[in-house]
Amino acid sequence: MAEGEAVAPVNPMKALGLEKLCINICVGESGDRLTRAAKVLEQLTDQEPVYSKARYTVRSFGIRRNEQIAVSCTVRGDKALEILEKGLKVKEYELYQESFSQTGNFGFGIDEHIDLGIKYDPTIGIYGMDFYAVMGRPGLRVSRRKRKQGRIGAPHRIQRDDTMKWFQQKYDGILLKGKPKNRSQNRPHKKKGKKK
């Protein structure tokens, strides 16, 4: 670099970071399977998970309104980054562009929790889970605080491209084109064809 050139100052308020990581396991039924899923989340996060209820009855899925069907956990700080790193390692640091929202957040799912380094326990079984990363910047609190609430200006809002760039720089991530394929082993999809 030449001596006469000035270095553009880096604005610390523009620094992008992980605000929180939401992990969800939806079992689709209450009872023993749900409590075992809660144990898996507790092992992973060292926090007590929250139970979610069904909003309405769906007879084909066999769920009733207000029946507990899922467990979720919100992790922040260094622990969130550590768990996100484990999850991305399972995905081999490859995410689809469709996995990133317009507001700069992203999500993905894994099929087996034992890939995260949790020891397999035959009494618990194997569970898949969803990861959702919410991104943040210093100063976004202005729009959420109770007193003197304000609006975030357009240049300071987090865009989809910002998060994609962050993912590529921080994790040497690879962005894939197209939509994520649904490879759920639990629910095989019916092949479309002529009815007999």
What pLDDT was estimated at residue 30? Answer: 84
Rounded to 5°, the CA angle 70-127-167 comes to 90
Q: How confident is the model at residue 9 (pLDDT cuts 50, 70, 90)?
A: confident
Q: State the chain's mean pLDDT as an integer.
A: 87
Tell me the C-alpha distance between 92 and 118, whole Å.
18
State the DSSP string of 18-34. Answer: EEEEEEEEE-SS-SHHH
Q: How far is CA 193 from CA 12, 122, 138, 186, 196, in A?
A: 57, 39, 53, 22, 9
Report the share of the chain in percent with pLDDT over 90. Answer: 48
Report the share of the chain in percent with pLDDT over 70. Answer: 90
**Cα 163 vs. chain centroid, distance in angstroms?**
13
User: Region 99-126: what's the mean pLDDT?
Assistant: 89
What pLDDT was estimated at residue 165? Answer: 93
Give the model confidence (pLDDT) of 180-189 as tens digits: 776 655 555 5
Among residues 63, 75, 68, the alpha carbon closest in space to that of 53 is found at 68
Bridge partner list, 23: 73, 131
* Res 193 pLDDT > 90: no
Give the model confidence (pLDDT) of 31-85 as tens digits: 889 999 999 999 889 999 999 998 988 888 888 898 899 999 999 999 999 999 9
Single-letter amino acid code for the residue at 192: K
What pLDDT was estimated at residue 31? Answer: 86
Among residues 127, 125, 124, 90, the alpha carbon closest in space to that of 108 is found at 90
What pLDDT was estimated at residue 178? Answer: 76
Q: How far is CA 176 from CA 94, 96, 101, 123, 128, in A?
A: 7, 4, 15, 37, 22
Contact yes or no for 25/37 (Cβ under 8 A): yes
Per-residue tokens: 127: 């569970």
* Res 3 pLDDT > 70: no
Q: What is the pTM of this model?
A: 0.83
What pLDDT was estimated at residue 196? Answer: 52
- Residue 183 CB-half CA count within 13 A: 9
Q: How far is CA 1 from CA 8, 10, 150, in A?
A: 13, 17, 41
What pLDDT was estimated at residue 122? Answer: 87
What pLDDT was estimated at residue 188? Answer: 52
More confident residue, 4 or 65: 65
